[in-house]
Amino acid sequence: MAEGIEPAPPEDRRSLGKRASTATGWVVGARVVQQLFGVGRFVVLARLLAPADFGLMGVAASALLVLHMFSGTGVRGALVQRKEDISSALNTAWTIDLARTLVIASILFAAASPISNLLNTPDATPILQALAGAFAITGLINVGTIYLRKELRVRDELSINLSAMVAESIVSVVMALVLESVWALVWGAFARSITLVAMSYVIYPYMPRLEFKKSEAGWLFRFGRWVSLNGIGVQLIHQADRLIIARILGATALGFYAISDRLSLNPVREMGQVGIRVGFPALSKLQEQKEEFARKALATIELSLSIVVPVSVASFILVDSVVPVVLGDEWVGAIDVTRMLVLAAIPMTIAQVGAVPLVAFGIPRVAAGSTLVALIALLIALPLLANRMGLEGAGLAMLIAYGSSSVVILASWRRHLGVGFSSMLRASLTPLVLAITVAPPLLAIDSSDWSNTAKTISGAATFVSIYGITSIGLWVVAKRGLMQVVLAATSRGRFATG
């Protein structure tokens, strides 16, 4: 394994569009597998553990993420966005991130008890301290893997993350069978951290060392501070809801909310990761080609909404039947909040996926501003609505927050990227057609007198078949829709998105 400066891997000779198209196919396919695997794990764990266990883990994980985001540096985002050679900055970036990780872990370990008492969950103290140790391990991840992202080598990057997910899932389930407590989730977190570090060195042969160059740190921080501020806002939105719910409604309500969020909003966060892992590095290479940049950005958000909008509509219709069948009767308390969160997933997609092109274009401050709008809306609406409406009010608050942010994003696209409202409207037609097509048969199934199990199975089969047929039809007629991604994944990049 080489030490010191390692040259970047040779650039793929295929066109950027073909590389991005193929990369998108791989990432979407891997994310689908990851979500199915993750949902399966949560379904199993939901039957082995109590809602309060998920609530305690949610409190601990939220506290860790809050500390993590407030010390973020954004240096990796700066490395990806920069067009010039970055090899001389790798060790400095790794040193900065390692120091940040160790400081966060130390603070969390020392402050575990006060944090748990503040959030009304004193039983979370040892869990917080254990998670601090698991988080500290991630500071050792190989910074050389940043080249995998810059050059769209997504298969290598995905192998790292998928390996970690498999390790976490296996350890969590096995330990849940043995321990029957929240500590099964903690052991899973350790397995994930260790696997991430180990695989990062297996996949990319670079050995970073402690080094700090002031000149390199300067440009890393200048761009990275805005990426960091945007990340702080995003993570606050993702975690403030849990902290407020734990404080107002208690750990059991948080358990209901956490599982609902996992099933409804987390897939959209995964969609945002597709934008970060593929769209961000690909669009960063098009900064000087504004028209092409805008076209690719618009195609990305159209494809994302083509998945999220019909799935959200289907979930909204069938949630009463799906929750008790998939999770068990003890989770029916999550139905109302799930119904609100699947609607919130639509503006959340616009807000998260739409922010990526703004950062890639070199204006991360605008993305940070849109996130701040969402955060302010959430902090105002969530306490009021949660007190008045309970968990359903919490879901409504998320819908309001992401709706506010999506408006800012679309206005920013018009101003900075030159994307007009007519172009945005055309991009929304494919998602609307897919949603309108799947809705009527699902409404008929939901209004039948069948059992919940029959509704769930027939609803899923109906959605998959109609969605698939409609997607193929849209591709044949207008060369639009999800088939772009499918063809990209199966044709070695011959089809470019957008």
Structure tokens at 427: 């991009």
CB 267 within 8 A of CB 345: yes
Handedness of CA 437, 278, 282, 154 (dihedral sign): negative
Note whether residue 392 is domain-resident.
yes
Convert the pLDDT of each residue in 280-330 to its tens digit: 777 777 777 788 888 888 888 888 888 899 999 999 999 999 989 988 888
Note whether residue 497 is domain-resident.
no
- The DSSP call for residue 9 is P
Nearest to 103 by CA among 76, 132, 142: 132
Residue 22 has pLDDT above 70, yes or no: no
Alpha helices in 151-288 (DSSP H): 154-179, 183-203, 214-249, 251-264, 266-274, 280-284
Handedness of CA 206, 194, 32, 292 (dihedral sign): negative
Q: Which domain holds residue 285?
A: 9-490
Number of domains, the chain = 1
Residue 439 has pLDDT above 70, yes or no: yes
Note whether residue 1 is domain-resident.
no
Mean of pLDDT values over 126-130: 86
Note whether residue 4 is domain-resident.
no
Q: How much is the mean pLDDT over the chain?
A: 81
Q: What's the predicted TM-score (pTM) here?
A: 0.69
The lowest-confidence range among 65-69, 178-182, 193-197, 296-300 is 65-69
Note whether residue 2 is domain-resident.
no
Note whether residue 498 is domain-resident.
no
Note whether residue 142 is domain-resident.
yes
